[in-house]
Homo-oligomer: A and B are copies of this chain.
């Protein structure tokens, strides 16, 4: 059985990155239900992220999304974050909300639009320079709604060109994370639809390019932990966008839809010795809290990932290996399930108390008065949202 001290040390060192946009309003194509107290500025989003980190102790950085989080002075934003107790994490680009991008951004048939989109990617690297951010996260909404609409293969050439130009702009300590997604907003073909496509481009690009796994971006039945294990073997797993889903890219709280799957994913991370921040994987959240309170939902998501990680760390790897080697299917499965069936909440409460935190971050948040404060402070002005 794993040593409790080791388990706790690993959990204490864990780092989960929160997404600035998840603190703002979001919704479906049918309706965005606005919530009171939602941030109006990048600074307010960072402030909210800092609260999550203060309460959980494992959310030390916050990802930005440009132009949603565009500011005049990024160095200043950086200092603001530091003062608030968090770091600026990945820079997420947005080449899907400008009218020009109706038929694609970097894969568009129109060279003018490709140029514009690529320039945005290059600008994001400049923001990385200014903020010290390590990771450039690329997600492209590019794709087709109808067969024949554009040439599938030409679009790969255009994609490759834009990726290369951007990659070449990266500094020595900067990385590119290439996300894939099966569908939405494109409904027939997506230009980076699966991990294989992202992987092939990353290999072509070089050692600073990595695949980013969004747990909600797969076809039904896809075994995500297999992809995790495979990419770890190839040295090409760079990041996660955690969230959960029952159907499509539902963007529910991580661990809410299939906690057993989240555990299996975290087990592959632990088994691959890839949990420590020094390994380099960026464990991000990417979620939409359409109907539930936003800051509590993010706290809950962080806790769900912690619990899955704790269970993964508790797997008796020696016993597991023995059962696997002997071909004892039921025992091997049993070893894994023993860890999964363990109630790790007491261990995590203990861990929080040992670091001077409230054992129950959600209760602490509700007691803190923060929610009432922001609902009052942020009553006026334009609240942040996807289309803000």
Contacts and interface: CB of A to CB of B under 8 A. Distances in A.
A173 interface: no
Interface residues of A, number: 103
Contact of A193 (B28, B152, B203, B223): B223
A277 to B, nearest CB: 21
A156 B230 contact: yes
Interface in A191-245: 193-197, 199-200, 203, 218-223, 225-226, 229-230, 232-234, 245
A248 B183 contact: yes
Copies in the assembly, this chain: 4
Interface string A320-360: 11011101011011111100111101000000000000000
Nearest to A268: B152
A307 B343 CA distance: 13
Nearest to A30: B185
A25 to B, nearest CB: 11
A150 interface: yes
A190 B268 CA distance: 16
Nearest to A100: B33
A336 to B, nearest CB: 3
Contacts of A219: 218-222
A374 interface: no
A296 to B, nearest CB: 5
A31 interface: yes
Nearest to A182: B221
A110 interface: yes
Contacts of A387: 31
A370 interface: no
Contacts of A150: 324, 332
Interface string A243-260: 001111010110011111
Nearest to A99: B33
A134 interface: no
Given A30-B97, A141-B30, A221-B246, A146 B252 contact: yes
Given A196-B200, A200-B234, 19 more contacts: A27-B185, A30-B184, A30-B386, A31-B141, A109-B324, A147-B336, A183-B250, A184-B247, A188-B252, A189-B223, A193-B223, A199-B199, A220-B221, A223-B246, A256-B333, A291-B329, A300-B330, A307-B341, A341-B345
Q: Which 6 A-B pairs have the closest CB atoms?
A: A196-B196, A148-B336, A219-B219, A187-B250, A220-B220, A28-B185
Interface of A: 26-31, 33-34, 96-97, 99, 101-103, 109-110, 141, 145-153, 156-157, 182-185, 187-190, 193-197, 199-200, 203, 218-223, 225-226, 229-230, 232-234, 245-248, 250, 252-253, 256-260, 264, 268, 271-272, 290-293, 296-297, 300, 307, 320-321, 323-325, 327, 329-330, 332-337, 340-343, 345, 362, 386-387
30 contacts: A29-B185, A30-B96, A31-B97, A31-B185, A31-B387, A109-B325, A146-B292, A146-B329, A147-B256, A147-B260, A148-B323, A148-B324, A148-B337, A149-B324, A149-B329, A150-B324, A152-B226, A153-B233, A153-B272, A156-B229, A187-B245, A188-B252, A189-B226, A193-B226, A219-B220, A221-B246, A258-B258, A259-B260, A297-B330, A334-B362
